[in-house]
Structure 1
């Protein structure tokens, strides 16, 4: 009898285990399907939001297309004047004359440089000709004449001077072929090379003295804007050359308006006659050609 009870109990346990397993599987299936529905619903909501954002973006673009303002980056062509440019974009004659008068405070309106890029913002008017909002002309790398219309609808002008940051640069190289190419290889700007040659033109005959493997060193200034872009070269503070075994070091003394270059003994290098005239000389010949004072 005990054995029969035990057998029945074992069968009951197996039945309970089977029912429990089936129940758990059914519960997991229900939860999974429910989770899928929630996920799909979330994806639908996300898609709906993305579609709404897309509609907003398209609406923004359409509004921009319908904007009454025209922003132009115009490149100056031969014969262009302020009057000619603004008439091309149908700006009111009275405003054209005002722009010209404002420009005259800082520059000559008929002397725009060919290839120069200017920025113009114009407002389209339905009932009359267009009106000027902004007319901006960079006259140098660091200076811009900007003419704008203020809140009172008055055309005003100002000169904007970009803040420049000065760095001292030391460049040196061995002269392999000529001074110019060796200096360019050392990333010295052409205007600095010409000034360097002018300074040493009182001490060195570039047509006869320079030899292969001679050496130069320059400490000079370079100016950069706030974005780190090069704007212009500054003064040469120190210049050195080793020429045919002879070493020459020159130092700048004085301010930017009144200065000179002197050797270690304080003697000025600027004599009455340069050994080699620099102006007009070609700067690219090699040693063998002997055609140029700086390059050969």
Structure 2
């Protein structure tokens, strides 16, 4: 063989080897998988499936795969995803469901059935919703709008949704909470972990009789009885309203119990049938400090002595201000040096005024009727003011009077059959108090 023929053979051989190498390089890789004890080999192609990543806000996602039933090995596994979503500001239920992977049609169908029991537009910010998706189909939704019931929607065999309102099993028990005041009622209650809603209710009950700035002393005592609700895991999920409240101020005992009259009116009464409710509350703000009293004083801005025709309560900006009594808003808006100002007419004798507010409660307007204790605005420093506070006035027969000393008309007093029923309820209440107190001792 000539020298040129030898070179040609080598080149052809190299080309063949190169071709085979690239063919093998691009070929899929195969591995064997053991499928039975008889060592039968089945070729399984190794690949990577795309990752599913739905755009769901604030969710904690868990996934599980349901294996195919026995005898149906050829069918693909079902992929079930359980998601927990927290409703954010501006969210709608249809957007939450479609973001979770449901189709718009299915989401709309579920919402249509849901509206027969619950209005989805009422979902509050922070509401937790549990969603279950199977093979891109919405199969279950649940949430608890209240501590005592749950809304559950489940996909049925006919592709429609069944929506139910399910009561949550709860155990109800009495709880007595007692404390000795060390600095202030508010600080002591917070330190002893009294639920905030119970503290607010306690303050409102006694705000008719007690000047919290002047009459509370170290060593004074307070107690209250309320219901607590426990779920099946023995966790407290709700506190009921105050059933009984007591304060011992420098040896003087005040106590009131909740009672509903035959007309359906609920209030707090003492043992003699006298209502705690007065025409007006002395302090229409919780936890504030009396910073300036009624009377002549040197004005902090003008620099000369001037009659101060109200009282000032110093408090941080944004603290809620309550209506001192039932009434109709006579004036709401800016009022010169008073800044943002509200005046309420309670009856033919009394009016109250609230000045230097940072803002009014949304929706409030002139001639709007308000209930005693309802929020009407928030502490601020508008107008002629040196810092955030509430300027509060009580107007009697058209003249400002001292809110801290004005003699307020007493509340209702029960008579006849209503008084007899109240006294019977006090007997039952004393039994409950003794039983609850024994639980604490034991």
Aligned residues: 223
Mapping of residues 1-296 of structure 1, within 5 Å = 66-124=77-135, 130-254=136-260, 258-278=265-285, 281-282=286-287, 291=314
Q: 1:230 to 1:286 in 2, by over 3 A?
A: farther
For 1:194 and 1:228, the matched residues in 2 are separated by 26
User: In structure 2, what is the Cα distance between the partners aligned to 1:268 and 1:155?
Assistant: 51
The 1:236–1:148 alpha-carbon spacing in structure 2 relative to 1, beyond 3 Å, is: same
What is the rounded CA distance, in whole Å, between the counterparts of 1:273 and 1:291 in structure 2?
20
Higher Cα radius of gyration: 1
Other-structure match for 1:58 = none
- Determine if contact 2:66/2:80 at 8 Å carries over to the other structure: no
| Contact 1:81–1:111 (8 Å) recurs in 2 | no
The separation in 2 between residues aligned to 1:183 and 1:134, in whole angstroms, is 42
Aligned partners of 2:66 and 2:272: how far apart in 1?
Answer: 72
**Do the aligned partners of 1:220 and 1:237 also contact (CA within 8 Å) in 2?**
yes
Could you give the per-residue CA deviations for residues 15-47 of structure 1, whole angstroms, max 9, x where no partner exists? xxxxxxxxxxxxxxxxxxxxxxxxxxxxxxxxx
Kept in 1, the 8 Å contact 2:140–2:155? The answer is yes
Higher relative contact order (CA 8 A, sep 6+): 1
Note the aligned Cα RMSD (angstroms): 2.8
Provide closer, same or farther for how the CA distance between residues 97 and 164 of structure 1 changes in structure 2, counting only shifts above 3 A: same
The alpha-carbon deviation at position 291 of structure 1 amounts to 4.6
TM-superposed deviation, 1:166:
1.3
Q: Deviations over 1:42-61 (max 9, x none)?
A: xxxxxxxxxxxxxxxxxxx8
Give the conservation status (yes or no) of the 8 Å contact 1:201–1:275.
Answer: yes
The whole-number CA distance in structure 2 between the counterparts of 1:268 and 1:112 is 37
CA distance in 2 between partners of 1:89 and 1:184 (Å): 40
Identify unmatched segments of 5+ residues in structure 2. 1-63, 68-75, 292-312, 316-442
Q: In structure 2, do the counterparts of structure 1 residues 99 and 63 end up closer, same or farther at CA, with 3 Å as the change threshold?
A: closer
Residues of 2 paired with 1:77 and 1:251: CA distance? 40
In 2, Cα distance between equivalents of 1:286 and 1:71: 54
Structure 1 consecutive aligned stretches of length 4 or more whose deviation exceeds 6 Å: none
- For structure 1, the residue ranges without an aligned partner over 5 or more in a row are 1-60, 125-129
Greater helix content: 1
User: Which one has a larger percent strand, Structure 1 or Structure 2?
Assistant: 2
Are 2:186 and 2:287, in contact at CA under 8 Å, matched by a contact in 1? no
In structure 1, the residue matched to 2:359 is none
Assess if the C-alpha contact under 8 Å between 1:163 and 1:225 holds in 2: yes
| SS of alignment partner, residue 186 of structure 2 | helix
